[in-house]
Amino acid sequence: MKVICAGSPKTGTKTMNAALNELGYLVYDYMENYEFLGKEWHKIVTEGGTKEDFRKMFENVDAVMDIPCCHYWEQIHEAFPDAKIIFTVRENEDDWYRSFHNQVAQNSSIVVKLLGILSPTVRIMNAFGQDVAGAILGPIWRSHMFGPDTINELGVRMWYRKHNSYVLNRAPKDKLLVYNVKEGWGPLCNFLNLPIPEKEFPHKNKKGEIVKEIMTTHPLLIRAQREALISMSLIVLLFGYASYNIATKPRSDSILGFVAKLFDKGLSYFGYQKIV
């Protein structure tokens, strides 16, 4: 472990991800932590963890960022005391909250909601996210099947203030860089003792467009969209078949029973519980 990014979400973490990748680091952002370390994080947020847990989790990783890592930055640093800490910041709290609120709105789109219903992959991912958010942010975020998710603004702001204060007071000053991604390559490369790349400094996730981007590029979410398409096709097929039999053989309990069992098997295949 070489770099621990302790800044909260919506402080330029996706930009930092792209910049550190450009500098040659293997980075674990939120999606990597979920995909490769989901079981380990579930244990940590529900039961607790040790320095050895973090050492095993990140022994072959160069840099970590975003939730849940930013919240556990101190414990990760205890496991890797030589790692440097980058604390990404926004100009002010109001700018940060507007960006955070906008991201929640992006995550509440109808496409994301439908994926949560039709894709087993997204349902499991959402459960992971709820565990992490509950352990870190507390009961300040509510997801709704219909309509946008809602957040407790006061609760979110209080967490942000406490997190920032704790990092600035606890991080060792000789290993800390307080950094705004608008500063570009200079301060970052000087802190990491690396030459400045000839490429332009990357800027990612402006206005929360990262949701649309990863929907078309990340393998997990591409798989989730395929699952949703198959699930929807299966549901349409089964309901169509059931409707046909009801219309043509309204008194045939055996046909309806067969369709019900087939429907249950189809849903179970995609990870749903039986409903009949």
* pLDDT per position as a tens digit, 76-123: 999 999 999 999 999 999 999 999 988 887 766 677 777 777 888 888
Q: Which residue has the higher pLDDT, 266 or 72?
A: 72
Asked if pLDDT for residue 274 goes beyond 50, the answer is no
Give the pLDDT band (50/70/90) at residue 246.
low
Alpha carbon distance 197, 23 (integer Å) = 8
Among 16, 8, 13, residue whose Cα is nearest residue 202: 16
Give the residue, 93 or 253, on which the prediction is more confident: 93
Within 10 A of 71 (CB to CB), how many other CB atoms are there?
21
How many angstroms separate the CA atoms of 76 and 71, rounded? Answer: 10
Query: Confidence band (pLDDT; 50, 70, 90) for 276?
Result: very low
pLDDT, tens digit, 9 for 90 and up, residues 20-37: 999 999 999 999 999 999
Mean pLDDT, residues 194-204 taken together? 92
Report the chain's mean pLDDT, rounded to a whole number. Answer: 85
Q: For residue 122, report the phi and psi dihedrals to the nearest 5 degrees.
A: -70, -35
136, burial (CB in 10 Å: exposed 0-12, middle 13-18, buried 19+): middle
Phi, psi of 211 (to 5 degrees): -60, -45
Segment 195-223 shows an average pLDDT of: 76
pLDDT at 228: 75
Name the more confident of 264 and 71: 71
Residue 275 banded pLDDT, cuts 50, 70, 90: very low
